[in-house]
Amino acid sequence: MGDQTDVQHTAQTIVDGSLVGIVGAGTMGIGVAQCFAEAGLPVVVVDNDHGALASGPDRLRAGIRTATLLRRGARQVRAGAPAPRAESLVTWSAELADLAAALLVVECAREDEDIKEGILRELDRICGAEAIFASNTSCIPVGRLGSFTGRPDRVIGTHFMNPAPLKDAVEVIRAPETSDLTLERTEGFLTHIGKHALVVRDAPGFVTNRVLMLTLNEAAAVLGEGTADAETVDRIFQDCFGHPMGPLRTADLIGLDTIVDSLEVLRRHTGEDRFKPCPLLSRLVAEGRVGRKSGSGFYPYAPQHLAARGRTGRD
Ligand SMILES: NC(=O)c1ccc[n+]([C@@H]2O[C@H](COP(=O)([O-])OP(=O)(O)OC[C@H]3O[C@@H](n4cnc5c(N)ncnc54)[C@H](O)[C@@H]3O)[C@@H](O)[C@H]2O)c1
């Protein structure tokens, strides 16, 4: 695999009507699936958790409804598939084998290297030689993920932000092995769904999470040490720095479990203890208070924020 000289297609012919696979029907997988379906592409979402699969259609519908309302409010109505059609373009499966025909697979499983390794090794066996594997990893070096496949030239990082349907840009991570063609095709897919790529080189945490994870961890630490309450910590970033959301509400939106996983990945790959999750963050995760998706984190959340996954916390 990996010889690009025999590839006849241009980036655009690859995008038109291409089947897109998503692995992981969690916070990000559902949002990324929505982005592709709203742009008219057929999508198969695979998850090995039946609760996540069962609640997937409802969470997708809620995501489409929210995005439509917000875009309408901001008058940014996007061209693309109308909501009912977008929903019907998404199918759900427990089998990676159903991604055999996909030309792009976006891996959105939990931030755990062993889990991602297992998925990528199996996808490499199942999918055609042309398929690109794009990981939504928050922190794991993309070159490391590519090494789990026989096609490292077709592995790339597409770090969608949360909520994916409402963000204009994607941090695209190019590993040393990622080919020009893979980058070009990935950018073609992103353009098709109305997003632009901000391309960076490979490193643990890339640009976003090398900086953001430390900030969120320190915000939790100042709260845990009693320097200020949660509302004050967040308002300092909003009122003084003009951030739309403070770090603690951002952490609750991301998921405190995902943040702890990401900090551990950063610590392991850099060898630096400054990425050690602070005691308050670790305690909240141990208690199952992982943010919006569980109904509480640094703040309590009303039921409409709860992702109806059939259970709480990490899936
Ligand atoms: N939450 C965020 O704000 C955010 C933002 C950017 C990137 N990310 C990254 O995106 C990825 C997904 O994060 P998330 O927040 O959606 O996590 P999540 O915990 O909400 O969802 C992860 C999903 O992966 C599924 N899964 C686990 N093992 C699997 C397997 N072997 N096969 C198929 N499915 C499997 C789980 O059942 C779950 O539904 C992670 O790498 C995370 O670091 C998260």
- Rounded to the nearest 5°, which phi and psi values hold at 103? -95, -20
pLDDT at residue 310, as a whole number: 37
Instruction: Say whether 243 is catalytic.
Output: no
What is the best residue among 108, 121, 257 to mutate for testing ligand 1's pocket, by most ligand atoms within 8 Å of CB? 108
pLDDT given for residue 302 in this prediction: 85
- All structural domains of the chain: 11-201 (3.40.50.720), 209-305 (1.10.1040.10)
Structure tokens at 88: 């019907």
Q: Note if 159 is an active site residue.
A: yes
Question: Can 171 be counted among the known catalytic residues?
Answer: yes
In testing the pocket of ligand 1, which one of 22, 28, 106 has its CB within 8 Å of the most ligand atoms? 28
Sign of the alpha-carbon torsion through 122, 123, 129, 133: negative
pLDDT of amino acid 308: 43
CA proximity to 45, closest of 31, 65, 63: 31
Extract the residue ranges of the chain whose pLDDT is less than 50: 1-8, 307-315
Give the pLDDT of residue 17. Answer: 78
Q: What is the ipTM of this complex?
A: 0.99
Residues in the chain: 315
